[in-house]
Amino acid sequence: GASPALMGYCAEHNVPITFMTKNGRFLARVIGESKGNVVLRKTQYRLSDCESQSAALARNFILGKVYNQKWMLERITRDYPMRIDVER
C-alpha cells in the first residue's frame, strides 16, 4: 500500500506506482501529469474516420517497417557474416 501523501509526491515527481495482487495481476497505476498534444490527437482521430486517409497512413507505416527490416537485415549480414559450406 501507499499513502495518499506518497502517491501525491510520486505523481508530482513523475514516479509511476503500479499496484498488483499477490499473484501479480495488475490492479491500478498512478502516474504524474500526462502531457500530450491535444491538437495532434484530434487530428489523428479525425483521420481515422476517413478510410482513404487511414489507408494512406497505414501504407506509409508498413513501408517504413519494411524499409527498416531490410536495413536491419543488410546490417546484420554485413556485421555478422555467416559461413555456409555447401558440399555437392
**DSSP code of residue 80:** S
Distance CA(59)–CA(82), nearest Å, equals 33
- Output helix, strand, coil percentages for the chain, rounded to the nearest 5: 55, 10, 35
Q: Is 38's pLDDT higher than 80?
A: yes
pLDDT band (50, 70, 90) for residue 18? very high
- pLDDT tens across 58-86, in order? 999 999 999 999 999 888 888 887 765 55
Q: What are phi and psi of 30, to 5 degrees?
A: -120, 120
> C-alpha dihedral over 73, 75, 81, 84, to 10 degrees?
20
